[in-house]
Amino acid sequence: MTNRPTRRQLLGWGVAGVVCGVAGCSQAPSNQTTATTSAAGTQSTDNGSTETPESTPLETVALETLATGFDAPVAVEFSTDGERAYIADQVGRIAVYESGSLRDEPALDLGDSVEFGGEKGLLGLALHPDFAENRRLYVRYSAPRRSGTPSNYSHTFVLAEFRATDDGRRITRDSERTILEIPQPQGNHNAGDVAFGPDGYLYVTVGDGGAGGDQGNGHVSDWYDAVGGGNGQDVTENLLGSILRIDVDGRDGDRAYAIPEDNPLVGQDGLDEHYAWGFRNPWRFSFDEDSLLVGDVGQNEYEEIDRVERGGNYGWNVREGTHCYGASECPSETPDDVRGGEPLVDPVVEYPHSGDGVSGISVIGGYVYRGSELAGGQGTYLFGDLQLRGRLFAATPAVDGSRSQWPTRIVDIAEGDSGTLDQLLSFGRDPTGELYVLGVGPDGGGVYRLVSP
């Protein structure tokens, strides 16, 4: 891998969605061993675990190196047989890992097609559910302004389909088929994760358009008068600030995809691609059975994990987490004339930018653990923060499926063969349910398997 940025550059970039000069992020406090985040953002030492008495909650993990030599790895996808992993590097390359090592040449190098820097670049990767048969995969990247993107905008969001060779080791560059383009006003808040849900549809995260407060160039007005602008609360003018759901196996008119007929705004006032809205920068997300768990990066004070459902409104820019944004008091639902007065849904996890215990500057959404390597980890949602500080976070999902705040604690990372990681960028999960972290250290980026210390 070439063109590696310096360590200083990497630490200065808000790769996962918080540029300190825009979002007002602060330094995280020293490590604590356990913490529970309440709806008000306060901490207590009671972890509120729902584990059975004979089960010891996961407290420490170690990192086992899978592959290194990347600039900024942001996604890893595994073939269903587990024999091959595809690793997306933000600079615009996809590498193939098999038989214990990386192949010498990248499977795909998007070269000049990708606009890289800060929060822009190759941001998402998903293999089609039938990849073993059809060799189709989907890539989300930032491109220079294309036709239809205003000249005063930053760049163009691109979602594209590619095809791999029969052996799966290379991705054919000229097989690219553009699925979706979205004009991006600023260079930040690009989100970028993509994944297929259990329903077979492709889910796509889209940030609010950048800058700060969901305001400024490219941010339309909405119903919330306390803050100007509001792509997160608008569903008619653009696709920004939302989770989209599309059918890449179909076609609908001149679209390169079809709209699932049960998308919430089909036949309503709004763009049909929307699945849920009210997001600032939903950088990473995952599915666990039927649950869609999204890490939405906060503005100045709070980070959140949302359990997302069809047609849900997750509050931005009316609220940051459970807290009012731009006003001392804020509504808990939209006005009656805005989609019938829909509720603003609380996150299931919230943590502050400062204070004792679970804290940080930019949430990195993870996965529910379904493997066998980590004792006490089964059924735990593991996630983290860009500002890694030698720790991950573990949340205990509510067993009754309620939306109450999930008890959250720190999981320490033991010293291992990975050396030091300065930034956490992403997570991955293989077909056996084992988890991987992707991050950047002094010697560049790597992918690491979570193991017992």
- Let me know: does 447 contact 430? Beta carbons within 8 Å: no
Whether 12 has a pLDDT exceeding 50, the answer reads no
pLDDT in tens, 327-337: 999 999 999 99
E-strand ranges in 165-278 read: 171-184, 194-196, 202-206, 242-246, 274-277
Q: Which CATH architecture group holds 7-30+71-375?
A: 6 Propeller (2.120)
> Cα–Cα distance between 376 and 56 in angstroms, integer?
5
Parse the chain into domains and list their residue ranges.
Answer: 7-30+71-375
A 10 A CB-CB count for 327 gives 13
Say whether pLDDT at 39 is over 80.
no
* pLDDT for the residue numbered 417: 60
Q: Rounded mean pLDDT of the chain? A: 88
Per-residue pLDDT tens digits for 215-270: 999 999 999 999 988 999 999 999 999 999 999 999 999 999 999 999 999 999 99
For 231-240, what is each residue's pLDDT tens digit? 999 999 999 9
The maximal CA–CA distance of the chain, rounded, in angstroms, is: 62
CA dihedral in degrees (192, 3, 95, 87; nearest 10)? -40
pLDDT at 419: 61
**Model pLDDT, residue 29:** 33
Within a 10 A sphere around the Cβ of 173, how many other Cβ atoms?
Answer: 12
Q: What pLDDT score was predicted for residue 416? A: 66
Q: Give per-residue pLDDT as tens, 294-333.
A: 999 999 999 999 999 999 999 999 999 999 999 999 999 9
Residues listed for the chain: 453
Q: Flag whether pLDDT at 40 surpasses 60.
A: no
Quote the tokens at residue 295: 């890490």
C-alpha torsion 127→128→129→132, nearest 10: -80
Map 9-34 to HEC letters: HHHHCCCCCCCHHHHCCCCCCCCCCC
381 within 8 A of 293, measured Cβ to Cβ: yes
Backbone φ, ψ for residue 111 (5° rounding): 50, -125
What three-state secondary structure class fits 58? coil
